[in-house]
Structure formats: structure tokens, C-alpha cells
Homo-oligomer: A and B are copies of this chain.
Amino acid sequence: MNEYKAFRVELADKVAQVVIDRPEKINAMSADFWAEIVDVFRWVDDTDEVRVVVLSGAGPHFSSGIDLQLLAQVGAQLGKDVGRNAEQLRRKILSLQASFNAVDHCRKPVIAAIQGYCLGGAIDLISACDMRYCSADARFSIKEIDMGMAADVGTLQRLPRIIGDGMMRELAYTGRTLDGAEAQAIGLVNRVYENPEALMEGVNELARQIAEKSPLAIRGTKEMIRYMRDHRVDDGLEYIATWNAAMLQAADLRVAVAAHMARQKPDFAD
């Protein structure tokens, strides 16, 4: 676990706390942020002790989205030839997307805990998490439309699988602000807590529950759900059969059955 400029990362009880830590900038996503998030999630993936991640923002807000300075820098680097600019922009966007793919592809569940502002790029980010929970004061907005651009780091790709198609379009076309209650009503978050403290308590309790399950079973489950977002039912059935051909030979099934018989809590290896 390294030191980071844009994040604070801690590990306790098999749960990694990943905190966006630039509260004085409303946790705006700086160049450091985009680079470090890949390292953070590589560490999560490679550290057997980490079983679940809670992703949150320091201070009263989750994040105001991409840092406008970063956008300005990208613009400043463009040259005169439209074609070469296009290639450079395309690669830059793919590189920013890769930062959030690192969250989406992480083998361990990632839970987003959201209070206050969650704007623009922050919606792209939470769309790449497994589950989202918020406090009543949360404010969500697909802000990119007001910047004169189509969101390009994941919101338009992942959110339609999470909320209804009709409401998706209304939010993306208008940039309208949503509060916690409406976010739950349309399926954007699983639950609204009264305030940020209750939110962190609730989310951490959930994280601990998941951390007690067989880590192999959790990873298989996550991989299968992620796979189904983009594949056919018949392909998914064949994939889990192939996956479990090895995994059902793991110790975890026996450990679970034995604990079940003994009416005890199972204790799974990392």
C-alpha cells in the first residue's frame, strides 16, 4: 500500500477504505487521481487480504467530477492538424476510461458511499462500482451535457444497465439534479441513509458481511454478473460451468458445508 496524492487508502478487517482525498477541491479528479486510481485498484487486486473495497470521498462531498484544469491542459496540447489532434484525443479518452475500467474489472466488490455532490465524472466513476449507497443529502447530476459534450468515461455506457432507459435519457439530456430519494427510486442507489455517518456505518457493516464469505465464491459471482452485462444467457451458462469445474474442487465448498452442519460460521482462507 503506497502513499497517494489524491487518495487515502487503509486496510482493516479485510475491507479496504479508498477515500478520494482532496476535500478542499470538492475531490475534483486531477491528473494524479486518474493515474493513482489504477495503482490503487491494482494493489486491491493483488492483495489477498483485501476482500471488499469501500470507495468514498473526504469532506462533505463525494466528488465534483473531472478537474477543469485537466480539461484545459488537454485542450492546450492540441496542435493544428485536426487528424492528429483526433488521434491524440482518442488515445487520451481511452486512457481516462482505463482508469475506471480498473474499478469495473477489479476482482473484489467495490461499494460506493456517496454524500453531497456527485457530479459529472463522479457519476462515471460510481457507474463502474458494484453497488451504490448514499446519504439523504446526496446530489447527482450528469454534468457533462452542460460542458457542451457527451460524457465519455463510462456514464453513457454503464448507467443504462443500472437505471431505466427512459429516465437515463432524461438525466443525460438535461443534467437535472437528483436527490437521494429519487436515486433510490430509479435504482441508482440501493439504499439512502439519513446522514453521512449512518451511511458509512451501513456500508461498512455490509462490507464486513461480504468479507466473511468465501473470497473465491465472491469473485466468481462478481465475474459472472459482470459477464452477463455484455453476453448472452447461453454463453453465461457455459462460462460458469467452466469456471466452477475448477472452483467446486476448492476447499471452500467443504468448509461451508462443514460449518453449516456444525452450525458455526465458516472461516475461509484468503
**Contact yes or no, B150 A244, CB < 8 A:** yes
Query: CA–CA, A209 to B219, complex, Å?
Result: 40
Residue of B whose beta carbon sits closest to that of A78: B249
Does A86 reach chain B (CB closer than 8 Å)?
Answer: yes
Q: List 22 A-B contacts (CB under 8 A).
A: A83-B216, A83-B251, A84-B216, A86-B246, A87-B245, A90-B241, A93-B244, A94-B241, A97-B237, A97-B241, A104-B233, A131-B167, A149-B217, A149-B252, A150-B240, A150-B244, A156-B221, A157-B224, A157-B233, A160-B228, A164-B187, A165-B229
**Contact yes or no, B169 A247, CB < 8 A:** no
Q: Which of A161, A173, A190 has the most CB of B within 10 A?
A: A173
Query: Which of A137-174 touch B at CB < 8 Å?
Result: 144-152, 154, 156-158, 160-170, 172-174
Interface residues on A, range: 35 or more
Query: CA–CA, A91 to B234, complex, Å?
Result: 15
Comparing A11-19, A30-38, A56-64, A253-261, the segment that makes contact with chain B is A253-261
Counting from the closest, the 9 A-B pairs by CB-CB distance are: A83-B250, A150-B220, A148-B256, A86-B246, A148-B252, A246-B246, A90-B245, A157-B236, A164-B187
**Contact yes or no, A256 B146, CB < 8 A:** yes
Does A232 reach chain B (CB closer than 8 Å)?
Answer: yes
Shortest beta-carbon distance, A230 to chain B, in Å?
A: 4
**Contact yes or no, A243 B240, CB < 8 A:** no
Query: CA–CA, A189 to B170, complex, Å?
Result: 11
Give A contacts to B, CB under 8 Å: 68, 71-72, 75, 78, 81-87, 89-90, 93-94, 97, 101, 104, 109, 130-132, 144-152, 154, 156-158, 160-170, 172-175, 186-190, 206, 209-210, 213-214, 216-225, 228-257, 260, 266, 268-269
Which residues on the B side are within 8 Å of A72 (C-beta)?
257
Query: CA–CA, A228 to B229, complex, Å?
Result: 11
